[in-house]
Structure 1
């Protein structure tokens, strides 16, 4: 953990000693690079990169944009796990080594012999595509540098590469670049893109407002980044950072390995993604600003430890990175960020403790009063336009007839802002100058206990620690569409729910719950009991009850006695199962959901596909279809370019009618 050497500059010898005491051991030279060893290699992704719902474990090694490069065992050991899947790692190998470490090789195109024959034989016997096997320790021993597979693009890969991990015996993911590989070089420091200052309590303000404020760092001639303006704040605030790392010879933007925050020379926050337990992947959603990612598509990482964050990557700090700014004081802030090669960048700025005089005067307006609401942590933010008097107030109606009157906190662009601490009670409605707005808050969900919400139409059960922090649950429904919370709030795990429809659906076995996001419909399933359906979800947001009675469709793109391939599509629930056979004999097939392509796998080189081929398909809603073709017919190949033109032409026609819905299928 050489990053901690920077602490010496700030006189933090005790912290350095503590860090050195906990330093991990990385045996240099024990592992060889798994692909193209002893030659320069490049990364498409680094350890701890910020990905959807998880930290990136390990490194992604570029394969020159192609598949089929030899993959070698990084050290001696035995193959302890091998799996084939259309999602996740795709084709993957786990090797357990004598020193207790485990190496992982993912997104492989194919396995080398004799493992390939073993996997194929087992898949034929079980008549399955997806498979997860754990061979005996003496069954597939490997030596260092032995060919074990060929690189590919299987599973959840976005392009050809090798995913490579090193884990310890406790399943902690370790940074492979700490093991002394010389194949990767980098001397380019990370880049600061944006800094957000956020109020952390109802009494906090940034430039006189209860709102996030963005700043854009500028790199000076001395290499140090600075802000073009001072930050004016009061109360407790937090910082969020948008920064990326660049590497030599590649255009990829990778994540940071380490970040430090100093206030007046004292470290108040520090994280280092040197290692983390594989099981805490979902906790990534509390490491970053999950809500901003959903709204803006940008991944800001918090420079403070939020409530509910238990990821073991932080250095102890009393403040946990939350800054308490006092009026009349000035604070010198320094942020240091590092990549995996300890290339670093520095941002310096000043925070002034200043509670600006807030304007509370509005210009009276005869137009109907508008009320908009939002929630930030424990604070309800009410914004109102077209107030009738200069001293209008807001009346909050609470349970049991309790009324709370709120004064204007401040005015911006003739819009009055009122604030309410939700810990004081969940409001039922608000009234401002005769205009009223109903709330749909139902219950406060606490993280450290199991909580149930029950209503005539909707029941929701949150298990213990399924939320990171207190959730002020909002629910609503209209017809067969309903909401559970906001999609901008993350869950740590899965919750259960049930929804009651007005009438039992005509085809309950063809009707399920789908998560709605724009035009996207994601199948969740569910179990019917009368006119109530029970289901599970690991995200909050909008859901709908939809029926799917249309079976999957297969379109042949290649046919010969040696090979066949189909394009598979489904209108809503997504493909669940598939099976190919000729004359009752099972034919093994592979499937890539990214390309919607299904193709044949020969049992051996002598096998010929002759006779009538039956391809059976079933979607998640149980709709089935059978496609038949004569394999004795003349060979058929539809070239990719021709197929693309057909699909593009078809898509153009769809645009002339109603918009085509995007369908996102839940991967198993």
Structure 2
């Protein structure tokens, strides 16, 4: 109890020490409601500030959080849209994003620069103290420029330009809500590790105990080996959901992992994809925090118990403590110090193994002796029998079963016996189950196999195989066209050496699965070697090449599709763990608006983020194709996303750069953007001498690549185009009052593929 109290007091101290003593003026007066917090996930970067709700509206005054001077001004159609950077007198920086307008003294300078450059895009750095601002002074108006709905993005950065969590560095918001737990994930970290008896990732739902104000699991997962925990949880505020400020995980009361999101370097911000579960977010849009440090993750956010890096190794704990059940506690905190925990137990137990089976005949029936391995007592042993020709498994009863000898604490020699009058060959399969419900793999035996005769000697024994590679392991699934007398001998030949599998399992009467540890970095010339005996006692020796394209963290690699029409090249240092590149040709979707050139290609693995950009290429051979209109697009949830259009027409190749792998195809885009003048309409009149000219500009495929792709002129003079690519709306306003009478409007829009549309209109200003 005393230990619990000390831990609780320590956590309170740590929470308090996480906040500094700065006191900043809140940037909005109308709202302290947040829509996103520091450290939230964004594609390949952490959210580096807080987002403040403006209730779907624009135009609220935005204030300087502290005295300082305007350091930088940025304008773009994308990202922060209109962004303002202040250098504060305390040495820090403040950043304001998605503004609709700047304060008049800043707005005047910006418009002059944009008109002078005839470019909306601006990245202007100012001299020190050229434009001073005081604490609480209005510096702009909230808007929705760039990405997202109307809101204000606000950041604090230290003197080295590193983002700081505003909520622990002088900005506060009212928050009394505690975090919420939703799901727990347990992931085996190697092929020798299991969750509930399987080498598979498992996800469990948390339940809430209202009396104890804590979350728990309704079942007790069983683990063995080295596993990593992940948790799906979030904070609540104003009926919205946010990321967590810090997480702590305890095993039997001892801290083994913690993370706290207070500051981040831009250079390593992409590692948010290693901090969270990239695969689950990409495939199922789930946000899981890893309670371990992924290989390749060098973020300075974590505290772990060395050398485990947050991973739980059951053999280490089991040897030191001996008991099988262990308590896990996970605590989640928001930046205001509100916390909530999840408590559950993990059972450390490996599933039973049947190491060997040998059969013989006795006066009482068929007898089998086997060596079984288990950390707890074997509770059940099941036995099924099937004829060889037409597989039909039936459960049978042993007439006798006993332990012959106990070889060790976890090994025992068992004897089974059953009655069978069959003289024909038949198959049996045996499975062991322990008291925790964990089951062994089936072990198979061929009984009376010596009496099998081959009725068709011309029928040769052959097999098919599929292979996969993940986390340094090569898995090979074998499927034979005939039953074998016994398990075959399977090896991998790599160069001059042969390698045995680290695990070998018979999956059914004709199928097997072998797993190899691939420590070699060379993937060319790998052969699969199989030696065995058919059911007819014919010896077989088979060889197959295993196509691999391995890429290791400190080396690059490349791969081609079987038809050589798709390729990928990865430079050294882009992957954080070894991967095998595969490219599969697929049929393009049937219902599609745009012309697909060639085929759709699936690039694997899709669950690995890259630290930089890899190069993918697709080739074309259609004679009626216009190469200038070709580009690579990603197909994601039935939508196309532009990837790249770099071309080598000599070899008919189009290339692009990607941060992860997915499905890609070549598409031809020959359609120009759509332009429609909304106000003032062509030929109509307006009484406004400075009308907000509104235009719909939309492209249905390649989109716009730069701010220069859209141009507006009024009476021949360049206008500042305020374009929202999400709403596909452009608004521009004359600098000065227009004269009465007719005025000529001209809009030009060019997409990434060079398709140009020009629309002209006239409107009249009347009194």
* Alpha-carbon distance between aligned partners in 1 of 2:761 and 2:217, rounded to the nearest angstrom: 67
Shift of 1:314: 0.8
Residue of structure 1 aligned with 2:747, choices 604, 612, 615: 615
Shift of 1:74: 0.5
* Structure 2 counterpart SS, 1:632: strand
1:156 aligns with 2:173: no
Aligned counterpart, 1:512? 631
* Structure 2 counterpart SS, 1:217: strand
Shift of 1:317: 2.9
Specify whether residues 64 and 480 from structure 1 end up closer, same or farther in structure 2 by C-alpha distance, changes over 3 A only.
Answer: closer
* Alpha-carbon distance between aligned partners in 2 of 1:616 and 1:535, rounded to the nearest angstrom: 27
Aligned counterpart, 1:563? 692
Q: Deviations over 1:226-245 (max 9, x none)?
A: 21122211110000110011
* Alpha-carbon distance between aligned partners in 2 of 1:299 and 1:69, rounded to the nearest angstrom: 32
* Structure 1 counterpart SS, 2:672: coil
CA contact (8 A) 1:77 1:98 kept: yes
CA contact (8 A) 1:359 1:411 kept: no
1:270 aligns with 2:258: yes
Shift of 1:296: 1.1
Aligned counterpart, 2:471? 377
Aligned counterpart, 2:410? none
Specify whether residues 584 and 504 from structure 1 end up closer, same or farther in structure 2 by C-alpha distance, changes over 3 A only.
Answer: same
* Alpha-carbon distance between aligned partners in 2 of 1:176 and 1:50, rounded to the nearest angstrom: 16
Aligned counterpart, 1:86? 77
Aligned counterpart, 1:535? 656
* Structure 1 counterpart SS, 2:282: helix
Higher normalized contact order (CA 8 Å, seq sep 6+, divided by chain length): 1
Residue of structure 2 aligned with 1:584, choices 713, 716, 728: 716
Shift of 1:398: 5.4
Aligned counterpart, 1:447? 553
* Structure 1 counterpart SS, 2:98: strand
| Aligned ranges 1:276-425 → 2 under 5 Å | 276-318=264-306, 319-326=308-315, 329-357=324-352, 358-361=439-442, 375-380=469-474, 408-409=504-505, 418-423=514-519
* Alpha-carbon distance between aligned partners in 2 of 1:235 and 1:608, rounded to the nearest angstrom: 82
* Alpha-carbon distance between aligned partners in 1 of 2:8 and 2:729, rounded to the nearest angstrom: 60
1:192 aligns with 2:181: yes
The answer to which structure has the higher strand fraction is 2
RMSD: 3.8
* Alpha-carbon distance between aligned partners in 2 of 1:8 and 1:605, rounded to the nearest angstrom: 71
* Alpha-carbon distance between aligned partners in 1 of 2:720 and 2:749, rounded to the nearest angstrom: 14
Shift of 1:634: 9.9
* Structure 2 counterpart SS, 1:468: coil
* Alpha-carbon distance between aligned partners in 2 of 1:339 and 1:436, rounded to the nearest angstrom: 58
Structure 2: where are the runs of 5+ without partners? 353-438, 446-461, 535-539, 587-597
* Alpha-carbon distance between aligned partners in 2 of 1:87 and 1:620, rounded to the nearest angstrom: 15
Instruction: Give the structure-1-normalised TM-score.
Output: 0.83
* Structure 2 counterpart SS, 1:33: coil
Specify whether residues 378 and 78 from structure 1 end up closer, same or farther in structure 2 by C-alpha distance, changes over 3 A only.
Answer: same
Shift of 1:447: 2.0
Specify whether residues 624 and 191 from structure 1 end up closer, same or farther in structure 2 by C-alpha distance, changes over 3 A only.
Answer: same
Shift of 1:294: 1.3
1:41 aligns with 2:161: no
Shift of 1:436: 12
Shift of 1:309: 0.2
Shift of 1:209: 0.3
Specify whether residues 399 and 496 from structure 1 end up closer, same or farther in structure 2 by C-alpha distance, changes over 3 A only.
Answer: same
* Alpha-carbon distance between aligned partners in 2 of 1:619 and 1:60, rounded to the nearest angstrom: 31
* Alpha-carbon distance between aligned partners in 1 of 2:495 and 2:621, rounded to the nearest angstrom: 30
* Structure 2 counterpart SS, 1:276: coil
Specify whether residues 123 and 290 from structure 1 end up closer, same or farther in structure 2 by C-alpha distance, changes over 3 A only.
Answer: same
Aligned counterpart, 1:254? 242
* Structure 2 counterpart SS, 1:82: strand
Aligned length: 617
Q: Deviations over 1:325-375 (max 9, x none)?
A: 1366332221111111111111122222211224333899xxx99977655
* Alpha-carbon distance between aligned partners in 2 of 1:195 and 1:374, rounded to the nearest angstrom: 27
* Alpha-carbon distance between aligned partners in 2 of 1:198 and 1:393, rounded to the nearest angstrom: 31
Structure 1: where are the runs of 5+ without partners? 1-5, 636-668
Q: Deviations over 1:397-451 (max 9, x none)?
A: 6556988776654869x997653434467567799999999965312x2223455
Specify whether residues 403 and 389 from structure 1 end up closer, same or farther in structure 2 by C-alpha distance, changes over 3 A only.
Answer: farther
Aligned counterpart, 2:428? none
Specify whether residues 409 and 363 from structure 1 end up closer, same or farther in structure 2 by C-alpha distance, changes over 3 A only.
Answer: closer
CA contact (8 A) 1:10 1:266 kept: no
Aligned counterpart, 1:32? 25
Aligned counterpart, 2:168? 178
1:66 aligns with 2:54: no
CA contact (8 A) 1:440 1:476 kept: no
CA contact (8 A) 2:66 2:89 kept: no
Q: Deviations over 1:500-524 (max 9, x none)?
A: 4446884222222222324222222
Larger Rg: 2
CA contact (8 A) 1:466 1:492 kept: yes
* Alpha-carbon distance between aligned partners in 2 of 1:179 and 1:582, rounded to the nearest angstrom: 47
Aligned counterpart, 1:638? none
* Alpha-carbon distance between aligned partners in 1 of 2:90 and 2:82, rounded to the nearest angstrom: 25
* Alpha-carbon distance between aligned partners in 1 of 2:473 and 2:741, rounded to the nearest angstrom: 66
Instruction: Give the structure-2-normalised TM-score.
Output: 0.73
Aligned counterpart, 2:701? 572
Aligned counterpart, 2:118? 127
